[in-house]
């Protein structure tokens, strides 16, 4: 135990974890993955708007109103 070897208690998993799965790390990875998907969706949407900006405008605003 004195030459850098771990103690026998260090090999036991902590009480709150199942195997080697860390819940906080799982939530962090899931959050980063969802934020990445959101960023990708926003990039695609903005690219479509830059390529064809007039497709986002409804055609009803292009027509002139009838004045009676």
- Once rounded to an integer, what is the mean pLDDT over residues 18-29? 85
Rounding to the nearest 10 degrees, give the CA dihedral for residues 34, 35, 40, 43. Answer: 150
What's the mean per-residue pLDDT of the chain? 78
Q: What pTM did the predictor assign?
A: 0.52
Q: pLDDT above 90 covers what percent of the chain?
A: 43
- Once rounded to an integer, what is the mean pLDDT over residues 15-29? 79
Highest mean pLDDT among 13-17, 42-46, 49-53: 42-46
Nearest to 56 by CA among 68, 47, 66, 43: 47
DSSP for 31-49?
HHHHHHHHHHHHHHHHHHH
């Amino acid at each position: 135990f004195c030459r850098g070897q771990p103690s026998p208690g260090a090999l036991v998993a902590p009480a709150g974890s199942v195997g080697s799965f860390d819940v906080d790390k799982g939530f962090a990875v899931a959050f980063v993955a969802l934020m990445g998907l959101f960023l990708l969706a926003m990039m695609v949407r903005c690219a479509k708007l830059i390529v064809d900006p007039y497709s986002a405008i409804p055609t009803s605003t292009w027509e002139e109103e009838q004045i009676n």
